[in-house]
Amino acid sequence: MLNTKQTENKSVPFWLWPNVLGLDAPIVAVVWQYLFAAVFGIKIPASNYLALFLVVWVIYSVDRLLDAKMLNSKINSTTRHNYYHQNYRVLYFVTAIISIFTAVICLTSIPFAVLKFGLMISCFVIVYFIHRKWGRGGMIVFLPKEIFVGLVFAIGTTLIGYTWTREIPDVFLSIPVIGFGVLCSMNCLAISVWEKDSDAFNHNSALPQLLPQFASHFSLISLIVFLILSFVTYTLFRSEDFLVLLAASLGCGLISLISFFEKRVSNQLIRVLADVAVLAPALLIIIFLK
């Protein structure tokens, strides 16, 4: 088996590169921020979308750099972790440069209210990184890290939109944000389940490693979550929150559907499908609104 950089990079399918380069999460964040803006009639400057894209990319890149540094088994690791491991120094430098550029963009284009609450959210991100480096088990004793990450991602993604409507405190209790948080959490849980074999060697704090029974019952769990969220969405049919909740419930439905075919799909493809499940419903609603 060849392990050269050139050989491994050539073996990466073109449709996997957004995931390998860490572009998937920022794209999801921007699309969902646009969905919230479109549904609730909020005008968000283009610079704010750029800032969100860069912030999410930097956070995920730092996380992957930590993963690459702690990589125990390259053979069993994912493609994205191998890529970061092989190109660690270059990506470390690129991440540092983009971090500085991101800070400049945020300080010059983001409203002060967003920066203030963004700093509060950054505390949760720091807690995650500390746990990622030295911790084990749930983030807050009983809360799996996948759910923690999903909720923080949802709040951070929608924060700018709520700032422009001057309703920042509502972001933490907003029904559509919670619905989006459920979808993001299910996405993180699905990825942990579908990558459990590589995590067994490189990421022993993932929920499927701590609770193996969860992975074996994930299809049923995801179906139950989908049905519950769909019921909530149905009850709010006439609410302004309906379209966001509809996108979230459709995303959960896609994750549930994919989970039933997990063993028939390659590890690389199913990783991409996990993000498609989050992205596609939002794009569908945006097109509908046009």
241 within some domain: yes
Which of 116 and 131 is assigned the larger pLDDT?
116
Alpha carbon distance 262, 212 (integer Å): 16
In a domain, 151, yes or no: yes
The total domain count for the chain is 1
Give the DSSP letter of residue 138: B
Residue 102 lies in a domain: yes
Q: Which of 125, 113, 112, 116 has the alpha carbon at shortest distance from 55?
A: 125
**Does residue 159 contact residue 118 with C-beta atoms inside 8 Å?**
yes
3 inside domain: no
SS3 state at 147: helix
- pLDDT-derived band of residue 116, with 50, 70 and 90 as boundaries? confident
Nearest Cα residue to 256 out of 236, 284, 228: 228
Which of the pair, 75 or 119, is modelled with greater confidence? 119
Q: Which range of residues forms the domain containing residue 176?
A: 14-289
Closest by Cα among 186, 257, 253 to 226: 253
pLDDT of residue 286: 96
Q: Confidence band (pLDDT; 50, 70, 90) for 135?
A: low
> Lowest-pLDDT range, 62-66, 230-234, 283-287?
62-66
Does 268 or 242 have the greater pLDDT score?
242
For the residues 17-40, what does the mean pLDDT come to? 94
Q: One-letter amino acid identity for 43?
A: K
- Alpha-carbon distance of 80 to 16, in angstroms, equals 9
Q: What percentage of residues in the chain have a pLDDT greater than 70?
A: 81
- The larger pLDDT score, comparing residue 226 to residue 2, is at 226
Q: Is residue 1 part of a domain?
A: no
At 181 the pLDDT is 95
Better-scored residue on pLDDT, 10 or 84: 84
Q: Which of 84-88, 144-148, 179-183 has the highest mean pLDDT?
A: 179-183
Whole-angstrom distance, CA of residue 78 vs CA of residue 264: 18
